[in-house]
Amino acid sequence: MTTLRRICPWLPLLQRSRHRAASRACSLLHTAAPTSIRQQRLSAAAPPPSRAFALSACSSKRKGDTDSGPDVGLTEEDGELLEDSEVETLFQEQAPAGIAGTQHRVFIVQPDVKWGSRKQHLTTAELMMAEAVGLVNTLETWRVVDTIILSTKTPGKKRIFGKGSFQSLTEKIKQTAAISAVFVNVERLSPLSERELEEAWGVKVFDRYSVVLHIFRCNARTKEAKLQISLAEIPLLRSRLKNEFANMDQQGGGARYIGGSGETLFEVQQRLLKEREIKIRSALEKLRRKRHLLRSQRKHKEFPIVSVLGYTNCGKTTLIKALTGDSGLQPRNQLFATLDVTVHAGQLPSRMTVLYVDTIGFLSQLPHKLIDSFSATLEDIKHSDLLIHVRDISHPETVNQKVNVLNVLKNLEIPDRLINSMIEVHNKIDLVDSYQSEEPDTIPISALGELGLDRLKKVVEEEIVNCTGKHILDLKVDLSSSQLSWLYKEATVQDMQVNATDGSAVVKVIISNAAYGRFKKLFPRK
């Protein structure tokens, strides 16, 4: 009976596997039947919308998919984009058990590695614990019950701590009332470690990866964010699958074959997860191409692009709101409040229009798999004209946070030209007593208090002119022609001196090479 109870939760996925077989038969009909007959058969054989996970060769793009954006020239071989309803179904059904929609009273365990390659040199166990508490408090339905910092010589071992420390920790957890979960603040627990800890403590066990993913899940709003989170959750689902079937194997139930198919239940579930992953990656690749098209359109209009990045909750959105005056931006004092890239137009002192890109915040000790899942979003950073690195200079770990941001940029293979020209901004100086920068070429500001913004805009303008190849020119124009209106539209007009006697003017402009070439072609000198 125990084995049967463990199998029951997987039965809906097995039923989807059978529907996929019908889908393959439908694909054969698609290649063999005449068009009219084929359409009738496909309509009859197509699975109902609720079974959105099955990879169906019969499914077709539905009308009214307004979120798909402009046509990017995809061929028929590229397949269809997922609809909002399909993404939502995938997002909700794939939520790892024990995380989504659950209230938890959490006991936090912070390993303190005293020596060795895993020792943290730029931070302390106390500061790492403070960040772990902040992560849990970000979740509305989670509460911290108790915390403990415990020294360890063996952070890579199955139980992380030595025998004596682990025993005392287990006793403390069991003696603390109303604990429903333990958060071990390490980057990633192996499936074996997770299972052993849960068996020893009798409650759910989370690592940093799973907690951060849950925060992402709570903040996801757009199709792209939900797809990226669903992709990042695949490793969690695989871990739980291994744990579940390891227990079943011990009871003699894990090696059963299903319906004579030659596949064990575990193999079926592994295959279904793999097919989900392929489907999500395919949809993300199509969204990546659309994002590339949008970037191309911005480049065509010659708007300089400035990406604003930094450690989570450093004040990026607040800064962009201050630089652009965009009242629609509502910054939140919350970790990972921004998961989607948003673009906001602002003007520099010369009246040049630039586009500020708000990016996802970074965090220390995150696995590469999580960064890879958001690579489509973070790819915008690579295609910027300029980077602004915002630091919360009031944070006790500001140096460590800077190192982590630079490491992420290195892993993303950001071009050297962008790293070398990156502007470093020290934000929240109003929270620091007698602030003095010990680092050269940094710009102190308070985004919330709007201090130091004029200097920042001026530096941004200088860097934009340098890195985009724009020129500051004095052009003589005929006021009776359309030259002046053209320059206002295609360049940045800074100043104008009118000569009333001959109906001309000398216009000072910031103009790109391409626009200047078009100007000379349209208005040749006589």
Altogether, the residues listed in the chain come to a count of 526
Looking at residues 345-359, what average pLDDT do you find? Answer: 88
pLDDT of residue 332: 67
Indicate if the pLDDT at residue 450 is higher than 80. Answer: yes
**Residue 368 pLDDT level (bands cut at 50, 70, 90):** low
With CA atoms as reference, report the closest residue to 22 among 57, 61, 52.
57
Residue 484: HSE in the Cβ half-sphere, 13 Å Cα cutoff:
16
Higher pLDDT, 25 or 458: 458
Task: Look at 39-53, 98-112, 207-221 and tell me which has the smallest mean pLDDT.
Answer: 39-53
Instruction: Round the average pLDDT of the chain to a whole number and report it.
Output: 76
Assigned CATH topology for domain 303-467: Rossmann fold (3.40.50)
pLDDT of residue 72: 30
> Tokens standing for 508?
């000072």
**Residue 394 pLDDT level (bands cut at 50, 70, 90):** very high
C-beta separation of 62 from 82 below 8 A: no
**Residue 116 pLDDT level (bands cut at 50, 70, 90):** low
pTM for the complete prediction?
0.68
Task: Look at 94-108, 134-148, 354-368 and tell me which has the smallest mean pLDDT.
Answer: 94-108
C-beta separation of 311 from 404 below 8 A: yes
Q: Could you read off the pLDDT of 224-236 as tens digits, one per residue?
A: 778 888 888 888 7
C-beta separation of 482 from 507 below 8 A: no
Indicate if the pLDDT at residue 203 is higher than 90. Answer: yes
CATH of 101-206, one of 3.90.110.10, 3.30.300.30, 3.40.50.11060, 1.10.10.10: 3.40.50.11060
**Residue 337 pLDDT level (bands cut at 50, 70, 90):** low
The region, left, alpha or beta by phi > 0 then psi within -120 to 50, assigned to residue 325 is: left
> Tokens standing for 229?
């989170």
Domains of the chain by residue range: 101-206, 303-467, 470-522
Percent of the chain surpassing pLDDT 70: 71
Looking at residues 61-71, what average pLDDT do you find? Answer: 34
Task: Look at 184-198, 292-306, 481-495 and tell me which has the smallest mean pLDDT.
Answer: 292-306
Asked whether the domain spanning 470-522 has the same topology as the one spanning 101-206, the reply is no
With CA atoms as reference, report the closest residue to 272 among 20, 5, 524.
20
Task: Look at 8-22, 29-43, 426-440 and tell me which has the smallest mean pLDDT.
Answer: 29-43
3-state secondary structure at position 106: strand
Give the 3-state secondary structure percentages of the chain, helix then strand then coil, rounded to 5: 50, 15, 35
pLDDT of residue 443: 96
Q: Could you read off the pLDDT of 470-517 as tens digits, one per residue?
A: 888 899 999 989 999 999 888 888 889 998 888 899 998 888 888 888
Per CATH, the number for 470-522 is 3.30.70
C-beta separation of 345 from 354 below 8 A: yes
Looking at residues 352-358, what average pLDDT do you find? Answer: 89
**Residue 411 pLDDT level (bands cut at 50, 70, 90):** confident
> CB pairs under 8 A, 24+ apart, for 245-254?
245/269, 246/191, 246/195, 247/6, 247/195, 248/3, 248/6, 248/7, 251/2, 251/3, 252/3, 253/2, 253/3, 253/6, 253/7
Indicate if the pLDDT at residue 399 is higher than 50. Answer: yes
pLDDT of residue 85: 77
